[in-house]
């Protein structure tokens, strides 16, 4: 069976409010699956639930998560629903980083400010191989940084937004995650830099990594995503493709609302 | 109708932070005692009633009497005069020096900032207590001199706080907007930045300074040589009296400890509530 | 770290220390009255002292010559405490002792405060209030309560026959290990020291734990504590070096109250006996300690945090 990450019935609560209700999706290796929706609809929480990193109370109350890579099959949420942080950390230890990685929105702040870039990529690689002396430069090059000798000496505060995002990608590659949860990694970057990062993501998928790409910007989907999940108010409402979104042959009202809003913004821009 | 609003507002304040409200009330009592005691003409010599030495608490003496027959509660109250008014003087001196200096340094920047901050750093390089001990030794142990010196010794801390706040706001949007409207600089600085944005921070520091002065006076009086000395009462010298082992739980012995500790905690809670962090301004 | 940065910090240290010494000298020299009058045999020694103290020279000259001599270790001669003995000789041994106690107390308060902050994460706030109430007491009050408390407790235990009368009872009135240890502990706790360190450590921990790089490390399956530890160095160093000045003052008080033979008790004697050269010399040493701790704190922070180096190096 091909490597897959499948979650079904994900329900997340904080006190009495339900933030995510019965969400399900399947992500395969080599595929880019976009998760779109308005801000606050639960996209990031869904991604964090795949890693068991939601620290709210009671948090994830229902979920069936299967992570399959090669012969390994993990069901980390089994017996750990609603458990405290320590037990969750134990249950998810074989999954975090090794099988599933996370690309954050603010890449620069996701790097330890006191360590050089090269050291941080090297540490990520060391987690995978057990060898503390890995060379970070090939990973930096693969992430699209043309001068890794210079970049590896830099500190995080010296990186531009785009460079920082590439370093985060290099870290994820060095770590060797089979699946990546990319949480709005291009938000706040200027369009040319954005294009570069999106191309990197596409390349990652070509190399066999399964990417869950979270975004609220529909315009970047064509050429990036193989499939699109539409989310509204904590529910996954529809699974479709970028083409169908564009063409307007839609079944769900939420998807139509998103497309309409995007069109209006674009129209306003072009005047 | 406004008179009715006060009890309601007081009740709301109390509900929100009961500890701080009680603390503030206690401090109010202390301050009133300290100011009233200044006006009293207490003659410690005639207060001695040897025949009534070391009485327990009773109708005439709520906390009993000390080894010379003097009423303990009365002396505790009288002791307040030696730190309340001087403490306030210290606050006045400190504010008068530190607020203008810190504000100007923060607003102007450049060499003015460097110069002013260096002066304050120099003063802060001598430990406060050591500096004050030197002043007492060289210039003599005069109450109001100590108060002024304490105010000067605390000024660096207050100035740094004001400086930090003003400097942080120097390029804030509302400052730029004010400038664009042609509001004169002095008005921006004093009205908007110092008064509106920094007054709680300053208030917190001044309350802390008041607490520091209390500690200073009682420490000196406890150790002896400087500070308030017998026969005049100070919480410090009342604490220092050696009662012997058997009577440790007697009110005469415990009262100075409790009163001092409670007052210091009260000052700390009030200062904490005043906040003055960036969010509270 | 660039040589330029280090040189700049050293320069600031030197200039500030000179300023502090100058301030204290000014304090003394501007006092009204004639210093020679205060001495018992002043009139006889007037010509000698006038020349020795350069009383007839202008102030700037006196500054320079004081600094010149101080740099060679000559801090003047004690007049009253140990008449005729050079100040440097009087204070050398006690100064060493006091610095050891100071350092020990500083390390103790940092470790204890950080441990309290780490252990109290998520615990109810009465923990915090308890530490604050205990720590905020002035050091003399803590010393008074501790010494009397220990004596009273021991006495009541002895009276009830629970323990035999210990050899050290009552608490001896000379310097000793017990008093020294008590002084160090009280210095670490009192006058708000422990509460402040705990609060700063807690703030730093909250910021670090909520940061993006900790979340990212967690998502990668990395060990968190190395990141937490070295990001704590900056904030903790700041607290430590800013607390140094207060610790010196607290030590002076505790040495007097608990009768220790360090530089603080000598300062008290000098102040009471108006032995100004001695008092001045001690103050110079204490101010140097404060400036040195500031310099060390800055240096450690610069060495650890590349962002600070970038800021300063412009």
DSSP letters, B35-60, are HHHHHS---TTTT--GGGTT--S-SS
Contact C20 B126 (CB under 8 A): yes
B and A: touch, per 3+ CB pairs < 8 A?
Answer: no
- The pLDDT score that the predictor gives to residue B14 is 64
**ipTM greater than 0.85:** yes
How far is C-alpha A47 from the chain's CA centre? 7
Residue of chain A nearest C223, judged by CA positions: A127
C100-128 pLDDT, tens digit each: 999 999 999 999 999 999 888 767 677 78
Closest Cβ opposite residue C216 in set A93, A104, A158: A104
Q: Which residues of C touch B126 (CB under 8 A)?
A: 20, 23-24, 283, 286-287, 290
Chains adjacent to B (≥3 CB pairs closer than 8 angstroms) = C
Q: Does A207 touch chain C (CB under 8 A)?
A: no
* Cβ pair C305, A155 in contact under 8 A: no
Nearest-neighbour CA in chain C from A167: distance (Å): 13
pLDDT at residue B244 in the model: 66
Residue percentage of chain C with pLDDT more than 70? 90
C218/A96 Cβ within 8 A: yes
- Length reported for chain B: 281
A124 contacts on C by Cβ (under 8 Å) = 220, 222
Chain C positions touching B118 (Cβ under 8 A) are: 15-16, 19
Tell me if B125 and C24 make a contact (CB, 8 A cut-off): no
Are there at least 3 beta-carbon pairs closer than 8 Å between C and B? yes
Q: How is residue B189 annotated by DSSP?
A: I
**Torsion on CA atoms C295, C300, C304, C307, rounded to nearest 10:** -10
C248 to B130: CB separation less than 8 angstroms, yes or no: yes
Whether residue C272 and residue B260 make contact (CB cut-off 8 A), yes or no, is no
The percentage of chain B sitting over the pLDDT mark of 90, rounded to a whole number, equals 43
Low-confidence ranges of chain A (pLDDT < 50): 270-271
- Residue C223: Cβ-neighbour burial (10 angstroms; 0-12, 13-18, 19+): exposed
Q: For residue B260, is pLDDT > 70?
A: yes
Report CB contact under 8 Å: C221, A127.
yes
- What tokens does B88 get? 């306030």
Compute the half-sphere exposure of residue A37: CA atoms within 13 Å on the CB side of its CA: 25
Span C140-166, pLDDT tens digits = 999 999 888 888 888 888 888 777 777
- C215-248 pLDDT tens trace: 999 999 999 999 999 999 999 999 999 888 899 9
Name the closest residue on chain B to residue C16, using Cα atoms: B122
User: Is the CB of residue A124 less than 8 Å away from at least one CB of chain C?
Assistant: yes
For chain C positions 228-247, those within 8 Å of chain A (CB to CB) are 230-231
Query: Residue C215: its pLDDT value, please?
Result: 93
State pLDDT tens for residues A190-236. 888 888 999 999 999 999 999 999 998 888 888 899 999 988 888 88
Question: Which of C27, C152, C245 lies nearest to residue B135, judging by beta carbons?
Answer: C27
Are the Cβ atoms of B264 and C138 closer than 8 angstroms?
Answer: yes
Instruction: Please judge whether B268 and C132 are an interchain contact, meaning their C-beta atoms are less than 8 angstroms apart.
Output: yes
Whether residue C170 has a cis bond before it, omega within 30° of 0: yes
pLDDT at C148: 85
For chain A, give the number of residues.
271
Give A89-118 pLDDT, tens digit per residue: 999 999 999 999 999 989 999 999 999 999
- Region of residue B208 (left: phi > 0; alpha: psi -120 to 50; beta: else): alpha
Predicted confidence at residue B129, as pLDDT, reads 95
State the average pLDDT over residues C169-193.
82
Of C191, C267, C290, the CB nearest to B133: C267
Q: Which of chain C's residues have a Cβ under 8 Å away from the Cβ of A158?
A: 310
Report chain C residues whose CB lies below 8 A from the CB of B239: 141, 144
Least confident of A234-243, A254-263, C36-45, C263-272: C36-45
Note the pLDDT tens digit of each residue in B153-179.
Answer: 999 999 999 998 888 887 777 777 877
What pLDDT is attached to residue C170?
61
Band of residue B279 on the pLDDT scale cut at 50, 70, 90: very low
> Which pLDDT score, from 0 to 100, does residue B280 have?
40
SS3 label, residue A101:
strand
* Selected residue of C9, C139, C245, C312 to mutate for chain B interface (largest B Cβ count, 10 A): C245
* Arithmetic mean of pLDDT over chain A: 88
Nearest CA to CA, how far is A73 from chain C (Å)?
Answer: 18
Answer yes or no: do C249 and B125 touch at CB < 8 A. Answer: no
**Which of C140, C276, C291 faces B222 most closely, judged by CB atoms?**
C140
Indicate whether B265 pLDDT > 70: yes
Chain B positions contacting chain C at CB under 8 Å are: 118-119, 121-131, 133-139, 215, 218-219, 222-223, 225-226, 236, 239-240, 245, 248, 257, 260-261, 264-265, 268
Q: How far apart are CA A217 and CA A236, in angstroms?
A: 17
Question: Is pLDDT at C40 greater than 80 in this prediction?
Answer: no
Q: Within an 8 Å CB–CB cutoff, is residue C313 touching chain A? A: no
pLDDT confidence of residue B5: 57
- Residue C26 touches partner B, C-beta closer than 8 Å: no
> Residue C157 and residue C142: Cα distance in Å, rounded?
22
Predicted confidence band of residue B245 (pLDDT cuts 50, 70, 90): low
Q: Is residue B9 very low, low, confident or very high in pLDDT (cuts 50, 70, 90)?
A: low
User: Cβ–Cβ of A110/C216 closer than 8 Å?
Assistant: yes
pLDDT of residue B7: 63
Q: Closest Cα to residue A196, out of A220, A227, A178, A214?
A: A220
Q: Tell me the average pLDDT across C269-296.
A: 92
pTM passes above 0.90 = no
> Would you state the structure tokens that stand for residue A39, as one six-digit string?
């801000």
Query: Is the confidence at residue B281, as pLDDT, over 60?
Result: no
Q: What is the radius of gyration, based on Cα positions, of chain A?
A: 19
Contact flag C306-A114 (C-beta cutoff 8 Å): yes
Is pLDDT above 50 for C314? Answer: no
Q: Could you tell me which chains touch chain A, where touching means 3 or more CB pairs under 8 A? A: C
Q: Which of B118-132, B228-242, C143-157 tops mean pLDDT?
A: B118-132
Nearest CB among A102, A113, A155 relative to C219 is that of: A102
Contacts A–C by Cβ distance under 8 A: 63
What is the spatial distance between Cα B216 and Cα B255, in angstroms, rounded to a whole number? 19
Residues in CB range of B69: below 8 A, 6 or more apart:
B48, B49, B50, B51, B52, B53, B55
Which residue from C212, C222, C305 is facing A106, i.e. has the nearest CB?
C212
Which A residues in the span 39-68 are in contact with C, Cβ-Cβ below 8 Å? 51, 53
User: Within an 8 Å CB–CB cutoff, is residue A83 touching chain C?
Assistant: no
- The pLDDT-based confidence of B4 (bands split at 50, 70, 90) is low
Residues 188-227 of C with CB under 8 A from B: 191-192
**Mean pLDDT computed over C21-25:** 91
Q: Which chains touch C (3 or more CB pairs under 8 A)?
A: A, B
DSSP states of C155-205: HHHHHTTSSPPPTTPSPPSS--HHHHHHHHHHHHHTTTHHHHHHHHHHHHH
Q: Is C133 touching B (CB cutoff 8 A)? A: yes
Rounded to a whole number, what is the distance in Å from the CA of B196 to chain C's nearest CA? Answer: 26
A96, A109, A127 ranked by CB distance to C212: nearest: A109
| Cα distance between residue A187 and residue A246, in whole Å | 21
**Cβ within 8 Å, pair A175-C220:** yes
């Amino acid at each position: 069976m091909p490597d897959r990450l499948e979650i079904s019935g994900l329900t997340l609560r904080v006190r009495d409010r339900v933030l995510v209700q019965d969400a399900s999706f399947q992500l395969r290796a080599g595929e880019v699956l976009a998760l779109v929706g308005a801000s606050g609809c639960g996209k990031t929480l869904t991604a964090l639930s795949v890693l068991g990193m939601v620290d709210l109370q009671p948090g994830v109350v229902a979920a069936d998560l299967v992570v399959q890579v090669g012969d390994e099959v993990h069901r980390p949420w089994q017996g750990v629903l609603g458990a405290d942080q320590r037990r969750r950390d134990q249950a998810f230890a074989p999954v975090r980083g090794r099988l599933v990685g996370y690309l954050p929105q603010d890449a620069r702040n996701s790097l330890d400010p006191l360590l050089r870039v090269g050291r941080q990529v090297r540490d990520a690689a060391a987690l995978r191989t057990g060898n503390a002396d890995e060379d970070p430069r090939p990973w930096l090059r693969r992430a699209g940084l043309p001068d890794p000798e210079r970049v590896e000496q830099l500190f995080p505060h010296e990186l531009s937004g785009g460079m920082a995002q590439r370093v985060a990608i290099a870290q994820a590659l060095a770590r060797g995650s089979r699946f990546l949860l990319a949480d709005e990694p291009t938000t706040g970057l200027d369009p040319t830099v954005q294009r570069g990062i999106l191309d990197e993501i596409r390349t990652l998928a070509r190399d066999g990594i399964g990417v869950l790409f979270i975004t609220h910007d529909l315009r970047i989907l064509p050429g990036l995503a193989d499939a699109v999940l539409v989310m509204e108010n904590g529910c996954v409402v529809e699974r479709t493709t970028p083409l169908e979104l564009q063409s307007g042959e839609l079944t769900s009202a939420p998807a139509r609302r998103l497309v309409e809003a995007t069109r209006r913004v674009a129209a306003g821009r072009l005047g | 109708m406004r008179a009715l609003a006060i009890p309601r507002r007081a009740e709301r304040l109390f509900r929100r932070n009961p500890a701080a409200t009680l603390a503030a009330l206690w401090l109010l009592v202390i301050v009133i005692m300290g100011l009233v005691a200044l006006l009293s003409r207490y003659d410690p010599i005639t207060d001695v009633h040897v025949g009534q030495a070391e009485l327990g608490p009773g109708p005439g003496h709520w906390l009993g009497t000390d080894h010379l027959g003097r009423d303990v509660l009365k002396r505790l109250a009288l002791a307040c005069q030696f730190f309340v008014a001087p403490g306030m003087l210290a606050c006045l001196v400190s504010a008068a020096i530190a607020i203008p200096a810190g504000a100007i340094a923060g607003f102007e920047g450049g060499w003015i900032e460097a110069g002013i901050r260096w002066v304050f750093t120099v003063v802060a390089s001598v430990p406060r207590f050591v500096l004050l001990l030197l002043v007492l030794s060289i210039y003599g142990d005069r109450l109001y001199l100590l108060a002024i010196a304490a105010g000067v010794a605390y000024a660096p801390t207050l100035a740094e706080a004001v400086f930090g706040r003003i400097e942080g706001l120097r390029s804030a949007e509302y400052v730029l907007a004010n400038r664009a409207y042609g509001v004169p600089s002095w008005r921006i600085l004093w009205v908007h930045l110092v008064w509106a944005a920094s007054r709680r921070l300053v208030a917190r520091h001044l309350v802390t300074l008041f607490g520091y002065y209390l500690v200073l006076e009682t420490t000196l009086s406890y150790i002896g040589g400087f500070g308030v000395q017998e026969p005049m009462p100070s919480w410090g010298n009342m604490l220092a009296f050696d009662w012997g082992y058997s009577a440790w739980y007697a009110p005469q012995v415990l009262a100075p400890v409790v009163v001092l500790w409670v007052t210091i905690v009260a000052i700390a809670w009030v200062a904490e509530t005043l906040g003055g962090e960036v969010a509270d301004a | 770290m660039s040589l330029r940065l280090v040189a700049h910090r050293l320069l600031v240290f030197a200039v500030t220390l000179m300023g502090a010494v100058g301030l204290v000298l000014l304090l003394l020299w501007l006092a009204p009255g004639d210093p020679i009058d205060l001495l018992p045999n002043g009139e006889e020694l007037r010509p000698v002292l006038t020349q020795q103290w350069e009383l007839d020279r202008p102030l700037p000259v006196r500054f320079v010559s004081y600094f010149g001599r101080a740099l060679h270790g000559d801090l003047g001669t004690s007049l009253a405490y140990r008449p005729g003995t050079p100040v440097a000789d009087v204070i050398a041994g006690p100064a060493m002792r006091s610095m050891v106690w100071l350092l020990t107390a500083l390390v103790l308060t940092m470790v204890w405060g950080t441990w309290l902050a780490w252990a109290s994460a998520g615990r109810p706030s009465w923990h915090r209030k308890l530490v604050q109430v205990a720590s905020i007491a002035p050091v003399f009050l803590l010393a008074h309560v501790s010494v009397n408390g220990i004596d009273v407790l021991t006495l009541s235990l002895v009276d009830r026959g629970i323990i035999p009368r210990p050899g050290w009872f009552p608490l001896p009135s000379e310097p000793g290990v017990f008093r020294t240890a008590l002084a160090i502990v009280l210095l670490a706790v009192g006058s708000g020291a422990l509460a402040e360190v705990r609060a700063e450590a807690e703030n730093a921990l909250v910021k670090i734990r909520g940061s993006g790089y900790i979340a990212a490390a967690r998502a990668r399956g990395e060990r968190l504590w190395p990141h937490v530890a070295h990001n704590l160095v900056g904030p903790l160093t700041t607290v430590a070096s800013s607390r140094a000045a207060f610790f010196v003052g607290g030590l002076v008080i505790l040495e007097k109250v608990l009768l220790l033979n360090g530089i603080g008790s000598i300062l008290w004697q000098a102040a009471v006996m108006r032995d100004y050269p001695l008092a001045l010399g001690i103050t110079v040493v204490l101010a140097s300690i404060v400036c040195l701790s500031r310099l060390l704190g800055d240096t450690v922070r610069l060495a650890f945090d590349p962002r600070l180096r970038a800021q300063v190096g412009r």
